[in-house]
Amino acid sequence: MRIALLLFASFGLTTAEDGLAGWLRYAPVPEASSYHENIPSLVVPLNATEGLPVFTAAREIVDGINGMYSKSINVASARTHDDDPTITIGTISAYTKECGCLSDLPELIDDGYYIGILGSDVLILGQNERGVLYGAFHYLERLAQGDIPSTSFASNPHAPIRWVNQWDNLQDGGTHGSVERGYGGDSIFFWDGKVRDDLTRAGQYARLLASIGLNAVVVNNVNANETIMTEENMDGLAKIANEFRPYGIQLGLSLNFASPELLGDLDTFDPLDEDVIQWWQDATDRLYKRIPDMAGYLVKANSEGQQGPLTYNRTLADGANLFAHALQPHGGIIMFRAFVYDHENLNETLDWKADRANAAVEFFNGLDTAFEDNVVVQIKNGPIDFQVREPVSPLFAHLQTTASAIELQVTQEYLGQQCHLVYLAPMWKEVLDFDLRVNSEASAVSQIISGKRFSNTLGGSAGVVNVGLNSTWLGSHLAMTNLYAYGKLAWDPSANSVEMLQDWIRMTFSHDQEVIDVVTKMSMQSWPAYEDYSGNLGIQTLTDILLGHYGPNPGSQDGNPWGQWTRADADSIGMDRTVWNGTENAGQYPEEVYKMYENIETTPDNLLLWFHHVPYTHVLKSGKTVIQHFYDAHYRGSAVAQTFVSLWESLKDKIDPERYEHVLFRLVYQAGHSLVWRDSINTFYFNKSSIPDEAGRVGNHPYRIEAENMELEEYEPYLVSPFEAASGSHCIVTSDNATEGTAWARLGVETGTYNIAVNYYDQAIGNSTWKLFLDDDMVGDWKGDLEYTIGRAPSPYIDGQTAARITFRDVHVKEGSILRIVGTPDGKEPAPVDYVSILPMNVVD
């Protein structure tokens, strides 16, 4: 007899392949029916309260099994007496109460789960409700792989803090809730300075995050607006928390340190002032009244214009403890950021010893024992700012009594802004596995942040994710591997990069082996390729650090107080961070690591220029000179990026058209932009060093026709800044903003089939259009609307950020034909063109 069938509204899974469901599509697995016998047909949730995780877990199991195995599964409030195989789910305490004790249950900590396989029955038990949901998602994930668990196992999280940070603004001048360094559209939480009425996406986001073991989201920007704490916004935040709660996701909040003055009516925000202390206590109490399960706060203080305790000559610990005390009665945590530095007074020219990389250890010096127990210092993985390669932050070795968490960036701020495929798990794993050798003992970063190395109860990870309203969440389908892997690594840093990726591919795209192989190949090559065509040997990403952090601009690194210096001159390059002659940053590392970095012989090549200043002719361990390594790496990396297009195209019949086209568009763009990177960086350093490329490639482009050398009508040459962002330093722009321009040239190539590439600039100040003709035939036309379609930071300038390429493939060209480009300006965008390449098959230039 079946007892009280529970009714669960299912999610109504989306059929459009627009990315919204992420990896939780619950698409049919191959040969699903052959597994039917091994999958129970009943779910019994033991302590399911609507709106809480056990209830959600039951619903996910029903939807998942229905979707993946076309098997309907019932839900009952108790076990049936017939022989229906059953999935029983609940917390350990509910199970013990209802069904007695399990003698051989492994020890579970908070959020941990146990999946018991008892003949044809399945038991999914959690240490708490959240653990039940994690167990259910894990079980479903195995089913999604076509891998029905046949043995019991338990899993515990590596660390208690597995948070997401969203850098969402409440508004952005107008009504939008924009996302700082977000490339997937407007905020899913905020609009017009307030919390959105429709928070559907907040719930869907929580579902994705819970499925990979994450447990909290800080919903607003670290550059926090004090109005987040108005009564109205507190009410709104409670609504977000309500959307999160069914998934066990807790809400966290970024605070503006100066709020008592900016929002309250105090004339100070001194953390030791009695009124300030009371102000924060009251505000915190009001928040917790609305959101009793709130996770806590995140604070960016005394950094990049944010106020903090140093304003009043108080210590960072005084600042952090202010919030710690307010949170203690409620069991909340304060994540206090280590990203503290003075971006106004660093002086590269005058001070060889100045170094932003030293800031965190210096600012936290002497404070290790000064923080309250509910303070966790949140440390970016490297000492500067999410560059393509950085050593591990030395601060991880200095905070021992104080708990720490690692901050990783899922949003690819310096790593191609989701317009370049860069799978980050291999990079994160290098960081997590790095052994700092504190006191000459094993001290992997992963062991420090878990709290195990220094016996701290708190610790973990914070991932800056920055999803937006775009249905793909991050702006790119493939970028979701990074969110997926971030969650998996926060739960278990020993997870394997390829295995995580392939699990994700099966759930997101297909079980087809070719799809798995191709996406794996592209993804695993992507970080090395990006490093190759951006910044090598630890010189940082070499992107434009003054504007959008996108596209090449090596000159922008130096000569300003932002401290992302390269100290490149005509003869030499690199930051001397040695103790004997440099900024002494190497000395911030524990002895064994310090010795490795101090000595040029033992510094790995990939961090050489991070720690040492050397001539361009310095010979690397590979036998190449630094400059030749730059040239070769840029050619190699951009060549790899070209292959992503054809690799993806080989999957045309195996991927739904919606996602196939979306991904293809980005990969084509990346292939073009990787050449912009290659040429800009190589030209810049060739110009600086005057050392030619041994292979004769740099500055030598036999297939190109420079636009400024064509016959021009209503188009005129324009000197691009920085010069290296244009082939031959110049592009052409229309003579005014209203008149169509024409550029033409007679082609000297032999008659045959060619690819024709046009490099142009797509600024965010208009939507110019271009037409390309061969004699009287139009080869193609295009529009400068990338600012709407690609998601990277918009820019009004003609530079490496806006440079783009379009390629027309397999074009029949006759010797002596006239090639003509007609550009129509729009708004303030003057239809800029850099060059045209007439490329024989298999040549890229």
Cβ proximity to ligand GCU, 165 vs 759, nearer residue: 165
Closest approach, Cβ 181 to ligand GCU, in A, equals: 5
Kindly tell me which of 549 and 662 has the beta carbon lying closer to ligand GCU. 549
- The residue annotated as part of the active site, out of 273, 275, 304, 433, is 304
Q: Identify whether the C-beta of residue 718 lies closer than 8 Å to the C-beta of residue 798.
A: yes
Site pattern 380..399 for ligand GCU (x: CB under 6 A): -----x--------------
Is the Cβ of residue 181 or residue 577 nearer to ligand GCU in the bound state?
A: 181
Q: Which is nearer to ligand GCU, 181 or 634 (CB)?
A: 181
- When asked if residue 222 is in the footprint of ligand GCU (CB under 6 A), the reply is yes
Contacts of 204 (CB under 8 A, 6+ apart): 20
Site for ligand GCU in 46-65 (CB under 6 A): none
Contacts of 512 (CB under 8 A, 6+ apart): 654
Closest CB to ligand GCU among residues 562, 594? 562
661 as an active site residue: the answer is no
Sign of CA dihedral 548, 553, 559, 563: positive
- As measured in angstroms, the least distance from the Cβ of 334 to ligand GCU is 16
- Rule CB under 6 A: is residue 300 a binding residue for ligand GCU? yes
Residue 605 lies near ligand GCU (rule: CB under 6 A): no
> Contact between 341 and ligand GCU (CB under 6 A)?
no
Distance CA 771, CA 1 (A): 73
Minimum Å distance from CB 99 to ligand GCU?
A: 48
Q: Does 335 bind ligand GCU (CB under 6 A)?
A: no
Size of the site for ligand GCU (CB under 6 A): 10
550 lines the binding site for ligand GCU (CB under 6 A): no
Token pair belonging to 500: 């995580």
d(CA 297, CA 326): 10
Q: Return the number of the residue (196 or 380) whose C-beta is nearest ligand GCU.
A: 380
Q: Are 616 and 689 in contact (CB under 8 A)?
A: yes
Closer to ligand GCU by CB, 98 or 180: give it: 180
Which has the closest alpha carbon to 345: 337, 355, 335?
Answer: 355
Nearer to ligand GCU, 411 or 769 (CB): 411
CB of 524 to ligand GCU, least distance (A): 27
Q: Long-range CB contacts (< 8 A, 24+ apart) of 508-514?
A: 508/22, 508/23, 508/25, 508/477, 508/480, 509/654, 509/655, 509/659, 510/654, 510/655, 511/29, 511/30, 511/146, 512/654, 514/650, 514/651, 514/654
Is the torsion defined by CA of 432, 433, 437, 442 positive or negative? positive
Which 3 state secondary structure label does DSSP give 20?
Answer: coil
Q: Is 172 in the site for ligand GCU (CB under 6 A)?
A: no
Question: Of 356 and 629, which CB lies nearer to ligand GCU in the complex structure?
Answer: 356
Residue 473: closest CA among 12, 18, 13:
18
Q: Is 223 in the site for ligand GCU (CB under 6 A)?
A: yes
Q: 323 vs 339, which CB is nearer to ligand GCU?
A: 339
What's the Rg (C-alpha) of the chain? 28
Considering only 98, 172, 180, 273, the residue that binds ligand GCU (CB under 6 A) is 180
User: Which residues have a Cβ under 8 Å from the Cβ of 696 and sit 6 or more positions away?
Assistant: none
CB of 481 to ligand GCU, least distance (A): 22
Q: Judged by CB under 6 A, does residue 181 bind ligand GCU?
A: yes
Task: Reply yes or no on whether 304 is catalytic.
Answer: yes
What's the closest the beta carbon of residue 413 comes to ligand GCU, in angstroms?
Answer: 6
Residue 693 DSSP code: P
One of 63, 226, 355, 413 is an active-site residue; which one?
A: 413
CB of 433: closest distance to ligand GCU in angstroms?
24
- Minimal distance in Å, beta carbon 304 to ligand GCU? 6
CA dihedral 637, 641, 643, 649 (to 10 degrees): 170
DSSP string covering 298-341: EE--SBTTB--GGGGT--HHHHHHHHHHHHGGGT-EEEEE----
Return the percent helix, strand and coil in the chain, to nearest 5: 35, 20, 45
Nearest distance, CB of residue 561 and ligand GCU, angstroms:
13
Q: Tell me whether residue 107 is one of the annotated catalytic residues.
A: no
Q: Burial-class residue 623 by CB neighbours within 10 Å (0-12, 13-18, 19+).
A: exposed
The span from the CA of 146 to the CA of 159, in Å, is: 29
Neighbours of 842 (CB within 10 A): 6
Q: Among residues 190, 339, 364, 530, which is the contact residue for ligand GCU, using CB under 6 A? A: 339
Q: How far is the CB of 510 from ligand GCU (least distance, A)?
A: 36
Helices 425-433 and 480-491 meet at what angle, rounded to 10? 30
Identify which of residues 407 and 708 has a Cβ nearer to ligand GCU in the complex. 407
- What tokens does 287 get? 């928040």
Q: Which of 111, 243, 385, 845 is catalytic?
A: 385
Sheet holding 42-45, edge to edge: 74-75, 42-45, 86-91, 121-126, 113-118, 153-155
Other Cβ atoms within 10 Å of 528 Cβ, number: 17
Residues 778, 813: contact at Cβ < 8 Å? no
Nearest distance, CB of residue 386 and ligand GCU, angstroms: 7
Number of H helices, E strands in the chain: 20, 29
List residues binding ligand GCU (CB under 6 A). Answer: 180-181, 222-223, 300, 304, 339, 385, 413, 549
Catalytic residues: 304, 385, 413
